[in-house]
Amino acid sequence: MVGLQSFAAYVKKFKKSPNEFASVGVAILSDSSSQYLVKAMVAAGIENKLNLSIYEAPYNQIYEELVQQDSPVFDASVSALFLLTSQQKLYKKFLHTPTSQRIYFAQNHLQYLQQLGELARSRSNAALVFCNYPDVNDEVFGNFANSHPASFPYQLRQLNVLLMEWVSQTQNIYLADLASLVARYGHANVMDNRLYLANDVVFALDFLPAVARALVQMVAVVKGNLKKCLILDLDNTMWGGIIGDDGLESIELGDLGNGKAFVALQHWAKQLMQRGIILAVCSKNEAVVAREPFEKHPDMVLRMDDISVFVANWENKADNIRYIQKVLNIGFDSMVFVDDNPFERQVVRQELPDVTVPELPDDPVEYLPFLQALRLFETTTFTTEDAGRTELYKAEAQRQMGLSLHTNYDAYLESLSIEAEVTGFVSQVVPRVAQLSQRSNQFNLRTIRYTEASASELAHSPHHTCLAVRLLDQFGDYGIIGIVVLKRNEDDALFIENWMMSCRVLKRGVEDMVLNLIVEAAQELGCKTVIGEYLPTKKNGMVKDHYKGLGFSAHHDGSWHLKTEGYVPRKHFITIKKN
Amino acid sequence: MSETLVLEELSVLFKDVLDNGDISLLSSTTAEDIDEWDSITHMMLVVEIEKKYAIKFTASETRGWNNVGELVKSILQKKS
């Protein structure tokens, strides 16, 4: 559901005008009261990083203002000139039109608007923005209005079509699509008759932030601030589930689970691509695994050819987006990053504040309507060049390979105040231990599965030490995300019988923390060596070099050894609570 | 709900909407007493009050209150 926004709160939120934003002149000529709208537009300006300097022409004097030679409307600093005419005033005019003339009403009104356009054009180079009219039926003819050219609904719709024909053939004149905006929020929700009758304000206050935003987005585009690239996460964003764990057959796409919603979202992304928005992928995955749906899944709409830059690895996403930016050579402020994971969104927001990172709704079936309502991809042009842009950038991406950017990620991790709660396989965690061991395929060193019974058994075994790690940070409680089972061998070595973790929490230092715990356990037991082993499966390629990366040395039998004596605890930023 | 409670809640709401932390409403307070309370902000207040109490005022009501006390009565009457 797309909701209205409190006018009072919106105006207050974007009140202070920071001087860092460039000043942009805007003129508003309206046939209804525009005082609230102007307030909301100033706020929308700040929200869109524009310092709007708005000239508000006197109430309901559009024509009078335009024939004044010295009107501030024609000031050279004005970049966008809005001529806002309301459906209410249009209806009044319709009522005053003799019945016999009503079939020409739309045509005549168009001529009036064109005349206003010419007047403005003769003295101004600003972008001219008219608006269309919200669809409404005055219920004089009911449904039959559609069959009766002299009815208001018939003329109104015809007028909207005539307006499109006009602006599509005229340079530098645009149409603000108020009709679709009203439809999106619902006509009954966006009207407040009290305000209209008392103050001649044609929309409810809480609809004005949406109107203002739509108008200001047009100003932003006129000033060249437009979005050029859509960066997509994959797991639980482009499909339901985790490709590395669930596999090609089980991810939600098509008829499976929420699959239809993801298919619709992909269709939208593809449409954007075809009109010139560059698509990039930024996913925490093995590259081979991440590509698989694009290559093989029958319900995927997006294919590898549609993606200009495809980044799938386990690096920090801000660094990956920096890489994408470098390859494409476009501004961060022209990039939109869509990811279901609040952690990733926050990393990117914090490190790359210019990238637009929408706060997605909880339910994936709402992703598409939500993103559409943000209206991020405004434009003022469309050329054949736009359609071919993806090819251009794909070639560029192939030239640029190699990724080794590192930011101040440590500081970021520290700021998250991550906490871990470490327990044995106590009864409360046993069901989740079993579940995690069944589901984890990627970060799983030996892929041993447990049932609840076998996990409980391990908990009571004198030869085993079991660890269950629960993780919490400022984004919430991730639950049990890691399990380790350690077995003491006869030769005073501690063998890591199993180590598995959920991929959701990678790159947060959990591995380092867990290794410290393992070595501590080994030292307490008097073991001089910790032995790890990697048993390869089709899905666990990501942990191939796990022990190597943690400082273990290769043993001739293929296992990995680490001396406990002189072990320097690995650095991490997690506060441990042991129970 | 008592008059005092509504008056307190309205003070908070007025402070927030009018962005003036010094506002303290009495039953006798009128728009004359508060600089930021003009014809424009009046409807902003009306809309926020309606949402807060899940009520709807008629057009005449929004024009009819002579002071805050009458507004409070109007709210209490709708909530009873």
Q: Does position A488 have pLDDT exceeding 60, yes or no?
A: yes
Q: Please, where are the H alpha helices in A488-573?
A: 510-525, 546-549
% of chain A beyond a pLDDT of 70: 96
| pLDDT 10s digits, A79-94 | 999 999 999 999 999 9
Q: Does position A2 have pLDDT exceeding 80, yes or no?
A: no
Q: How far is B17 from chain A (nearest CA, A)?
A: 6
Q: Which of B47, B51, B55, B58 to mutate to test the interface with A (most CBs of A within 10 A)?
A: B47
Which has the higher per-residue pLDDT, A383 or A37? A37
Q: What is the pLDDT of residue A389?
A: 75
Regarding the domain delimited by B3-79, which CATH topology (the fold level of the hierarchy) does it fall under? 1.10.1200
Q: How far is B70 from chain A (nearest CA, A)?
A: 19
Q: A55-69, A155-169, A249-263, A423-437 — which is least confidently predicted?
A: A423-437
CA pair distance A333, A346, nearest whole angstrom: 16
Q: What is the pLDDT of residue A401?
A: 45
- Residues from chain B contacting residue A35 (CB–CB below 8 Å): 40
| pLDDT 10s digits, A193-205 | 999 998 999 999 9
Question: What's domain A417-578's superfamily in CATH?
Answer: Gcn5-related N-acetyltransferase (GNAT) (3.40.630.30)
Q: Please, where are the H alpha helices in A186-279?
A: 193-199, 208-222, 243-246, 259-274
Q: A8-12, A62-66, A337-341, A429-433 — which is least confidently predicted?
A: A429-433
Q: What is the pLDDT of residue A396?
A: 61
Of residues A183, A196, A176, A265, the one with CA closest to residue A36? A196
Residue type, A84: L
Average pLDDT value for residue range A113-130 = 94
Q: How far is A26 from chain B (nearest CA, A)?
A: 22
- Residues from chain A contacting residue B51 (CB–CB below 8 Å): 6
Q: What is the pLDDT of residue A427?
A: 87
Chain position carrying tokens 């390629």: A541
Average pLDDT value for residue range A37-52 = 93
- Tell me the average pLDDT of chain A: 90
Contact between A500 and A440 under an 8 Å Cβ cutoff? The reply is: yes
B40 touches chain A (CB under 8 A): yes
Of how many residues is chain B composed?
80
Q: Does the distance separating the beta carbons of A198 and B63 come in below 8 Å?
A: yes
Average pLDDT value for residue range A373-388 = 82
Q: What is the pLDDT of residue A405?
A: 40
Q: Does the distance separating the beta carbons of A205 and B47 come in below 8 Å?
A: yes
Per CATH, A7-222 and A229-407 having the same topology is answered yes
Listed as ranges, residues in chain B with pLDDT below 50 are none
A41: which 2 tokens?
Answer: 């537009």
Q: What is the pLDDT of residue A18?
A: 61
% of chain A beyond a pLDDT of 90: 71
Helix, strand, coil % (nearest 5) of chain B? 65, 0, 35
**Which ipTM value was assigned to this complex?**
0.93
| pLDDT 10s digits, A321-330 | 999 998 888 8
| pLDDT 10s digits, A553-564 | 999 999 999 999
Which has the higher per-residue pLDDT, A491 or A49? A49
DSSP classification of residue A255: T
Q: Does position A1 have pLDDT exceeding 60, yes or no?
A: no
If one counts every other C-beta atom within 10 angstroms of the C-beta of residue A478, the result is 20
Average pLDDT value for residue range A129-143 = 97
A296: which 2 tokens?
Answer: 């093989």
Q: Give the H or E element holding residue A115.
A: helix A105-123
Domain boundaries, chain B: 3-79
Q: Does position A332 have pLDDT exceeding 50, yes or no?
A: yes
User: How many angstroms separate the Cα of A322 from the Cα of each of A12, A183, A331, A345, A393?
Assistant: 33, 38, 10, 14, 16
- Residues from chain A contacting residue B52 (CB–CB below 8 Å): none
Which has the higher per-residue pLDDT, A400 or A330? A330
Among A8, A194, A198, select the one facing B44 at the smallest CB separation: A8
Q: Does position A413 have pLDDT exceeding 80, yes or no?
A: no
Dihedral angle over CA of B65, B69, B74, B77, nearest 10:
-160
Among B40, B58, B62, select the one facing A36 at the smallest CB separation: B40
If one counts every other C-beta atom within 10 angstroms of the C-beta of residue A436, the result is 22
Class of domain A229-407: alpha beta
Regarding the domain delimited by A7-222, which CATH topology (the fold level of the hierarchy) does it fall under? Rossmann fold (3.40.50)
Q: What is the pLDDT of residue A395?
A: 63
- Residues from chain B contacting residue A206 (CB–CB below 8 Å): 47
Q: Does position A339 have pLDDT exceeding 70, yes or no?
A: yes
Contact between A44 and A32 under an 8 Å Cβ cutoff? The reply is: no
CA pair distance B73, B57, nearest whole angstrom: 12
